[in-house]
Amino acid sequence: MRGPLTGLRVADFSQLVQGPSATQLLGDMGADIVKVEPLKGEWSRGWSIGDTFVKGESLSFLAFNRAKRSITLDLKAAEGKEIGRRIIKSSDVLIENFRPGVMDRLGLGYDALCAEQPGLIYCASSGWGQDGPYRERPGQDLLAQSIAGVLMLNGTANDPPVPVGIGLADLTAGLHIVIAVLAALYERASSGKGQRLDVNLLNSMMHLSTQELTLYLNTRREPQRSATGVGHPYVGAPMGVYKTKDGYISIAMMPVDKIAKLVGVEGFEGNSSRNVTVNRDEVKQKLGKGFVEKTTKELMDIFMEADIWAAPVNTFPDVETDPQVSHNEVLIDFDHPIAGKFRTVGPPIEFSRTPGEIRRPPLLGEHKDQILEELGYSESEIAHFRDANIV
């Protein structure tokens, strides 16, 4: 392994997206991620987005579990619990995203561990927080988007509430886990002490809408979605998405008269506003008549020459062939022993001196013997654990 976090060990008890996306990023940066799974595997090994499995392997699992080693454990059995404790004791960081109280009931909660391992950084990630009225509710991405008010920011005025089409809460919480862990490691370098960290989906979604909520809290102006797809509920035309002759194009905050002139629409001369909020739908509809007369490429050529903030609205096939996406080399592939050549999105961060490396996701329990040997167990003990269905 290589990367800026080489030498760091993380005990990963997380499942699905929220925790695994975080530990994958840490693993990409060189950390040794020991993924502790139930005997039958973590939840996403048996479920996949779009019900898509590649030669029997869950696409969702493969997408979020790169750069890890897997061991299966029965944590309810005394011997399995002891192995779990040894893994944690050999680790700098523990990350889990069970419902509040699950790790405590297993005897692996922070209070049970910190006395004998004061340097442990323990990150718990949940749906709503570790206490409060929603503590026992299931936490899930769409539910967090709903409670945070995000669904009311998307779509047009006549649409029902519109969810974001990605796991926004899960992925944002994953980034917050990474930030929290790295901050705690930095502090531990001077104090020598670990601590408990808590991240949840709701707070992460609230953080994403900081600007919009702050506007409402200070003015009581509720967000109003436009009828024509202006690009933000609190912003006016010309910002938004426009139909072209062969697709769609998006425009950011630009002078309305300049846009109108470039697309051949009259009536906006002298109006240099970048944010026309009065009659914004009417303004956008009028501008749109000029956009549909040209292809997306023709408009992009015109707009780039005039220094207009514009971008084509890519489909996924377009994303794959986009010149900047190709240049950034953010789409990667690796060879998996079952799935074969597998393509996915790679690490978003580059390091000039300590670059990481791409390591494939583990097979279920693939590294159990290796991990147990590192923990000091003998060959006979490891054989016993296998025979007793502990690992």
CATH of the domain at 262: 3.30.1540.10
Q: Judge if 165 and 300 occupy the same domain.
A: no
In a domain, 214, yes or no: no
In a domain, 218, yes or no: no
Q: Judge if 184 and 98 occupy the same domain.
A: yes
Q: Judge if 157 and 272 occupy the same domain.
A: no
Q: Judge if 34 and 162 occupy the same domain.
A: yes
Q: Judge if 317 and 344 occupy the same domain.
A: no
Distance between CA 307 and CA 250 in Å, rounded?
14
In a domain, 134, yes or no: yes
Q: Judge if 249 and 154 occupy the same domain.
A: no
**Blockwise average pLDDT, block size 10, the chain, 391 residues:** 92 97 97 98 95 96 98 97 98 96 96 96 95 90 92 91 93 97 97 96 94 93 92 92 95 95 96 93 96 97 96 92 91 95 91 88 97 97 97 97
In a domain, 111, yes or no: yes
In a domain, 77, yes or no: yes
Q: What is the pLDDT of residue 1?
A: 65
In a domain, 229, yes or no: no
Copy the structure tokens of residue 308. Answer: 């207009």
Q: Judge if 13 and 33 occupy the same domain.
A: yes
Q: Judge if 75 and 173 occupy the same domain.
A: yes
Q: What is the pLDDT of residue 351?
A: 84
Question: Is-cis flag, bond preceding 323, omega within 30?
Answer: no
Q: Judge if 187 and 98 occupy the same domain.
A: yes
How many alpha carbons fall within 13 Å on the CB side of residue 176?
Answer: 22
- Of 279, 301, 321, the residue at which a domain comes to its end is 321
In a domain, 4, yes or no: no
| Residue 335 known to be catalytic | no
Number of domains in the chain: 2
How many alpha carbons fall within 13 Å on the CB side of residue 209?
Answer: 28
Q: 254 Cβ partners below 8 Å, 6+ apart?
A: 238, 239, 274, 308, 309
- Containing domain of residue 246, as a range? 240-321
- Of 293, 321, 349, the residue at which a domain comes to its end is 321
Q: Judge if 247 and 175 occupy the same domain.
A: no
Distance between CA 125 and CA 163 in Å, rounded?
22
Residue 303 backbone phi and psi in degrees, to 5: -70, -40
In a domain, 213, yes or no: no
Q: Judge if 244 and 195 occupy the same domain.
A: no
Q: Judge if 306 and 369 occupy the same domain.
A: no
- Of 321, 338, 370, the residue at which a domain comes to its end is 321
The crossing angle, in degrees rounded to 10, of helices 201-208 and 168-191 is 100
Among 12, 159, 170, 198, which one carries the catalytic annotation? 170
